[in-house]
Amino acid sequence: MTGTFIAFEGGDASGKSTQAQRVADALGAVFTREPGGTPLSEALRALLLDPAQHVALRTEALLMAASRAQLVHDVIAPTLASGRHVVTDRFLGSSLAYQGYGRGLDVAAVRGLSLFAVEGTLPDLTVLIDVPVSLAMGRLGEDLDRIEREEQAFHERVRAGYLELAAADPGGWVVIDGTGDVDTVASRVDAALASRLSVVDGIIES
């Protein structure tokens, strides 16, 4: 029996990281993040998010895919094969939303690159924490990474891309209203998970 794989997606400061960690703890799942999750992937993360770096658009997409390939190979695939659950803060959807819709790269090309990287390892469910960009930007502090520093129009394109991805795959995605306090959002997440994944029944309360 393989483990269940849950990915949390959303724009910067959407609250997805908090919810992903909470769900992983509740399930006793392995928690990881993108870009990152392995020594090599964390090194790539540092480069990708460094405001001092100039990263070409295709380079960004390739480095994101490389980080994901290493994470799948080293952590996600073997953990799932062992029967343990995995919860990740970002996965393939982030590349489509950020490098595809946000940066304007061909979405189909980014998808193909991402699918090559994951070798068939895809989430059982992707949970999109959706908040208005104006609200999310108000949550950001002053120490912003390279991508967080992008103009509001970029983040609006990312959000629109996420919503389009979710609408195109209602069986694989669930959209959660991320407005409200942490507990309110948590109750929405838990209800969605309980209705979509039998593995959380009795573990996460709806």
User: What CA–CA distances, in Å, run from 183 to 114, 119, 150, 190?
Assistant: 33, 36, 29, 10
Question: 3-class secondary structure for 72-93?
Answer: HHHHHHHHHHCCCCEEEECCHH
Within 13 Å of residue 56, how many CA atoms lie on the same side as its CB? 3
- Residue 132 in any domain: the answer is yes
Which tens digits make up the pLDDT trace of 80-122? 999 999 999 999 999 999 999 999 999 999 999 999 999 999 9
Here the CATH number for the domain that contains residue 93 is 3.40.50.300
Work out the percent of the chain whose per-residue pLDDT is above 90. Answer: 92
Contact in structure between 119 and 72 (CB atoms under 8 Å): yes
Range of the domain at 92: 5-200
Measured distance CA(145)–CA(122) in Å, rounded: 27
Measured distance CA(6)–CA(206) in Å, rounded: 17
pTM of the model: 0.95
Which tens digits make up the pLDDT trace of 160-201? 999 999 999 999 999 999 999 999 999 999 999 999 998 776
- Residue 142 in any domain: the answer is yes
- Residue 206 in any domain: the answer is no
- Residue 205 in any domain: the answer is no
pLDDT for 200: 73
How many independent structural domains does the chain possess? 1
